[in-house]
Structures are given as structure tokens and as C-alpha cells.
A and B are shown apart, each in its own frame.
Chain A
Amino acid sequence: MSLSGERPLPPGWDLPVDTERDPALVPDASAVEVPPELRAEIEQRMAKYPEHRSAALPALAAAQKLHGWCSPQAIDQVAAVMRVTPAYLSSVATFYDMFRTEPTGPHYVYVCTGVACHLRAAKTVFDAVEAEAERSGYDEAEIREFECLGACDMAPMASVDGRYVGPLEEGDAAELVAALREGRDVLPGRGLEDEGYELPWGSEA
């Protein structure tokens, strides 16, 4: 999906809706098999809140971590444990950017192209990463432009599986994609969480 261009409509948008069928009910708990560790995590989350529905976001995040995306199966499992309808969870999953409603690879690269990164040529970094992934046939990661990630001091930057790296240059794209493919640390020493991380100009990070 491109932020600058028109968004393509999701596949199946023009198929007729089956109005004969009733919407799915809360799944029968005994009919849905839920991995025990996922069930434990969701139940533990639900116990933390006065109302158990509050656990919807963390529960979906846990299911996504297990399944790689919010697949119909993942949604059913969460619905069975939380005692809510799959439709309710789908409505939540489709609202938030970090929930994937389509299968992608196990990794993600969010290149920030928010306004502060945009001013520091983030688009060229994104284009370079995307082109490099395409050139080398790497499809194990969801590579997308992302709205402001809250690291404008590191601009331009990216979040690679949640690890903030920056400031990036066009020339980093090859190494970034290669490291992901080979399972190495991506740009070691240039992540916000890395020991002794500093901005090149020495201000607070």
C-alpha cells in the first residue's frame, strides 16, 4: 500500500454479501482448539482489568504473535477465550495499524515517513528498502511506510520488528535487507536500545 497513491480496494470487496447466513456467534468453547499458552496469556490479561473486554488489544497482539497475522483462526481462538463474537474482534483488528489482516512474513520493517522524517528524505530510504527487497526477492517481511513512530531525532528511521534503527541512509537498505534475510542483527550499534547508542550529533536520545 502506498501512502501517496490511491489505495487499492481489498480483494473481494465486490463480491455479494451472503445475507442468508447469520453472523457468527460467540464460538463454542469446546469446539475451538486454543493453544494452551495463548489461552493462559489471554486469561491472565483479562484478569487484570475490571472488564474483561479491555484485554482485546493485548489478546489480539498475542494471537498475532503466534499466528503471524490476525487470521480467521486466530480471531476464533481469541473469541472463544474472551467470549465475544469474531465480528467484534475483526472490528478491532481492522482499526489498528499494527494488526495484520493479511498474511505476511514473520518480520516487519516500518519505515517512518512522518512529516519530520519526510523533511530528512525518508521517502528515498523507504524506496531503497522496498527496491532492495524486490531486487533480491526477499518476501519474509512486511515492508511499509509508517506514520510518525515518535523518533524524529533519529530521522530518517525505521522500526525493524520493534527495534528502532536510525538515522538511516539510502545506502543502508542493502545491509538491512541482507541482515534480515540471514537472521543477523540489523545494523548493530545503530538501534535505540543498543548499549551506548548515541546520535551522531550528540544530543539527547
Chain B
Amino acid sequence: MTDTIEKKVLLAHIHEPGYDTLEGYERFGGYKSLAKALREMDPEQVLEQLQASGLRGRGGAGFAMGKKASFIPRGAMDKYLCCNADESEPGAFKDRLLMQKAPHQLVEGCIIGSIAAGATKAFIFIRGEYSLQADILDRAVEEAYAAGYLGERILDTDFSLDLVVHRGAGAYICGEESALLDALEGKRGNPRLKPPFPANQGLYQGPTLINNVETLSNVPLIIERGGDWFASLGTEKSPGTKIVSVSGNVQRPGNYEIELGIPARELVHGLAGGPPEGRRIKCWFPGGSSSPVLLEEHLDLPYDFETMAQAGSMLGSGSIIVVDDSIPIVSVALRLAQFYRHESCGKCVPCREGTGWTVKTLQRIDRGEATPMDLEIMAQVQQNIIGNCLCVLGDSMAMPIGSMVKHFRDEFEQHITRARASADRVEIEALGADDLASVAEAGPAV
């Protein structure tokens, strides 16, 4: 069947009974990497392995994790590690699986990441909606404390670490790293001006390393098997395996772990079963709802960071959403814009107003109140958002909407014409006989 394309490394053991408990995790070598990192390596060597692995952040930006950790200043001061588990990007659900089935893998990754960063306090910021996963993590952290993997003098070394699972309360913006820090400090989740970057001045003004769940879950494996092993997977610039969430109009939505660089078609058609019977793929988001859409012809491209960027999109968090030809593109654009309008924190004007105007324009298009000129106005709004805000939430709407208008301009224009015609018809039908007579008398409108 399709087993050959999948390469289960992170997900290798998740179906083993009890893998979400400490006992089950230790049965498969759990916390051996932590012992190795603490007893046989110094923090610099841990950092070296992370850099050698070439592991790129799995949260969206794809920034090299080892490099990010190396930006944390040396010396004695309060430093922090934050795991970003606020997975809220429409289309992404890989972290949910990792936290539910392999919580100790993440906890161990957080501890080793803290060693590399020199952090003494670590937080897992999990979105409030994931209450099941947060409960599981709470239990895992408790078990790790009881076993001496967390707390004072871990494994009888000089290293001490506290780990707190912090639940959010429902805000997409908190996945943005500086907004996450504000939320963790107990405030409204508004992004901060950068620089200074969190590596220098983050949580409580201290240097902070922020990494995604999947990124940190890879860390124990890298320490166990070496950075070179990780680098040998995937492609040269996009090493490792990746859990890809495939959703939307496919026959088998789900999480699939693959080596980066396989053709996207293998994922969408092979693993996820392709679009429903008799349907064709209209477009697909390669990296969550924030990524510009690609067309069916792009499915043969290798699925990795570089190629997706060259094709004018991005790999992002690795979440493929497939749209089939039964869905009007205007409805996708509208739904997307509504999401970003709802989630805009309101701090920067271009994003707050721009997302609202985009929704209004798309609603006008859908209601038959728009003219083709509205497409130009909408494009201008997008241009005024991109690059003009503290964070990229607005850009995340502007780019996919822009790509939809670019690829499907004909459909947008047809939608405008058809919706106008049907709106006119409704209006005429609503008129009484006297009105119709006066309309006829006045002659055709110019």
C-alpha cells in the first residue's frame, strides 16, 4: 500500500501501549538522551549537535534551531525556554498528535533544549482548546518531576530546571512568539516590536529560546543518534522528517510523517488519497492557511522549504489544505479573511483595518454589489498590509488572498458578474407591477 513513502521517526512508537506514560517511554529508550546530554556532553557539545543536524524550526518560519539557540547570550542570568504549543494555524494538527501520544518526548526535548540554551525555567505554552493534551502534558511533567528528570539537581548533576505547562485561552495571535511571551506574562497577546528579538530580550526581559513542539520533539533523537544522522535524512537544506497534516478535500485527511523532499503528489494523492471521486484539485495550501496557494501542476515539486519558497509559497508548518473544484474560490478567500479579521489583535492599523476591509470587499463580491475594480482596491489593501505591521498576521492574510486573485482572476470576475446578475434579478422580482412599468418607461439604465 502506501507504507513505503512514510518514514516514521518521530511517530515510530506512538501506537505502543502506554507510550504516553513515563514507564512506556523509558521502555523505548526514553530519557537516555537526557542522561547522555547531562553526563557525557557539555552544553556546547549539545549545541554543536543541534547545529550539525541542520534541524529547521517546524512552527512556520523554518529558522535553523541550533543557530537560534546559539544566539542566546552566555553567562549567568535568568534565561528561559518556551515551547510554542499554541498550534492554531488553520490546517495544522501535528503538534496535537505529538503531545497526545508522545508527551515525554516533548518534555525530554524541552529539558535538553534548556541545557543548550542555559535556561533554568521552561514553559510549554499550549492553546487552551487542547485541554486533553494539556492534561496529558501535566501528567507527564508530574511523572518527570517524580523520576528526577525535572527539578533540582537533575540526575545528580548541577543542572536544575522547572517546567510549567501554561494554558492559553483561545487566540491565534499567541502563536506569534512575542505575543506568546506577553500572554505568558499574563497580558493581552499583543506582538512586540522587534528587535530586540526574544533570544536577547524575551520573557520577563530575559533571553528566551522559543521553539515549536515538533522541533523540540526531534531533539532527543538528535542527541541519541547524532546530528549527522538527522542531516542524512531529507534534503541537504531541509534535513529530517516532517509530520505533514493533510486536510480539506482529500479522501484520507490525517498526519503523515515523511522525509522532506518527496514530491507533494505522493502526499496528496498517495497518502491522503487525493480529492474525492470525480473531483479535481483546484488549488492547495502547502503550509497552512497563511501560505499562498499553489495549483495542481505544482504537485510534482519536491515538498521542502526551498522548493516551496521558489514556487512562490512556503512550507510553513507543513500543513497541506486541498481545495477541490466544487468549492468557489471566493468562499475560500472570504472564510480565510474572516479568520484573520477575527484573530487580528488590533494593535497595528494596517492589519486591523485591512483584514476588515478585505472581508467587506469579499462579501460585496459574494452579494453582487462589487465591480471588477473592487479586485484592484482589494489588492491595494493587501499591499498596504504587507510589511507594515509588528507581526506577520496581516501578511498571512494578504499573501494567500493575493495568490488566489492572481491564479483565479477569471473566476473572481465571473463571480462578480454572476452575483450582480442574480442580485439584479432578485431586485426586479421584488418590484411590484407599478414599479416595473416605471422602470420600463425610464428605459435601460446606462
A116-B91, A150-B92, A162-B131 known; A91-B188 Cβ under 8 A? yes
| B137 interfacial by beta-carbon distance below 8 Å | no
- Chief secondary structure at chain A's binding surface: loop
One of B189, B252, B342 near A201 (C-beta < 8 A): B252
Within residues 94 to 113 of chain B, which ones have a CB less than 8 A from any CB in chain A? 95-97, 100
B130 touches A95 (CB 8 A): no
Please give, as numbers and ranges, the residues of chain B lying within 8 Å of A162 by CB-CB distance: 129, 131-132
A54-B185, A203-B254, A204-B11 known; A153-B89 Cβ under 8 A? no
Please give, as numbers and ranges, the residues of chain B lying within 8 Å of A193 by CB-CB distance: 132
Please give, as numbers and ranges, the residues of chain A lying within 8 Å of B188 by CB-CB distance: 91-92, 95
| B187 interfacial by beta-carbon distance below 8 Å | yes
The interface stretch among A96-104, A128-136, A176-184 is A96-104
Bound Cα distance A61, B249 (Å) = 36
Bound Cα distance A146, B128 (Å) = 13
A119 touches B252 (CB 8 A): no
B163 CB to closest chain A CB, in angstroms? 10
A47 CB to closest chain B CB, in angstroms? 11
Nearest neighbor of B86 in chain A, beta-carbon distance: A150
Please give, as numbers and ranges, the residues of chain B lying within 8 Å of A92 by CB-CB distance: 186-188
The interface stretch among B61-69, B164-172, B221-229, B258-266 is B164-172
B252 touches A203 (CB 8 A): yes
A118 touches B169 (CB 8 A): no
Bound Cα distance A205, B94 (Å) = 9
Please give, as numbers and ranges, the residues of chain A lying within 8 Å of B184 by CB-CB distance: 54
B44 CB to closest chain A CB, in angstroms? 26
Nearest neighbor of B243 in chain A, beta-carbon distance: A204
Within residues 139 to 158 of chain A, which ones have a CB less than 8 A from any CB in chain B? 146-153, 155
Please give, as numbers and ranges, the residues of chain A lying within 8 Å of B162 by CB-CB distance: 48
| A67 interfacial by beta-carbon distance below 8 Å | no
A61 touches B339 (CB 8 A): no
B90 touches A115 (CB 8 A): yes
Please give, as numbers and ranges, the residues of chain B lying within 8 Å of A188 by CB-CB distance: none
Please give, as numbers and ranges, the residues of chain B lying within 8 Å of A204 by CB-CB distance: 11, 97, 254-256
| B335 interfacial by beta-carbon distance below 8 Å | yes
| B251 interfacial by beta-carbon distance below 8 Å | yes
| B384 interfacial by beta-carbon distance below 8 Å | no
| A49 interfacial by beta-carbon distance below 8 Å | yes
6 pairs of A and B residues whose beta carbons are closest in the complex: A203-B254, A56-B186, A97-B170, A152-B247, A96-B169, A98-B170
